[in-house]
Amino acid sequence: MPIISPAHRTPSLKKEETKKSWFVVDAQGKTLGRLCSAVATRLRGKHKATFTPNQDCGDNIIIINASKIEVTGRKKDQKMYYHHSLYPGGMTAIPFKDLIKENPERILMEGVKGMLPKSKLGDVMLSNLRVFAGSEHNLKAQKPVALEL
């Protein structure tokens, strides 16, 4: 078996070694699934050369204009969002066209959540995502950089 020198080992980052940045993404005119997959990749940190699967090494993302997201085909009429209260008969179904009016942030949060790991680490990664329905956000102090996906 060949001896591997320490210089050729894959780096495994520790939590304090990760570098996180803040980015703002404008969802206006973007397709829902494509935007969610790009954001999930950034939240996970897979775009970095120092990606470590067991660490939260992704960036922080702010999404604005969530109410102006688009879907293709007949999804506006047919796509449903489900929630169950864990009581018998407690299932509620909300169509996309109604949810985009009353809570557009939930659409993007659920889309990105489905593309992240189903674990405690996935929950931590999802907490690095902030979604706003309008074009204004209250995170100016973090000095986010505009990101074009």
Q: Kindly state the DSSP code that residue 9 receives in the 8-state scheme.
A: S
User: What is the spatial distance between Cα 100 and Cα 132, in angstroms, rounded to a whole number?
Assistant: 12
Determine, yes or no, domain membership for 4: no
In a domain, 90, yes or no: no
> Is there a domain that residue 93 lies in?
no
pLDDT at 6: 65
Hey, how many other C-beta atoms are within 10 angstroms of the C-beta on 32? 20
pLDDT computed for residue 9 by the predictor: 74
The CATH number of whichever domain residue 107 belongs to comes to: 3.90.1180.10
How does residue 15 score in pLDDT terms, banded at 50, 70 and 90? confident
Per-residue pLDDT of 112-142, as tens digits, reads 999 999 999 999 999 999 999 999 999 999 9
The total number of structural domains that make up the chain:
1
Which tens digit of pLDDT belongs to each residue from 45-103?
999 988 999 999 999 999 999 999 999 999 999 999 999 999 999 999 999 999 999 99
- Chain centroid to Cα 11, Å, comes to 25
pLDDT attached to residue 149 = 86
Domain residues for the domain of 32 are 21-72+101-146
Question: 123 lies in a domain?
Answer: yes
Q: Is residue 138 one of the residues assigned to a domain?
A: yes
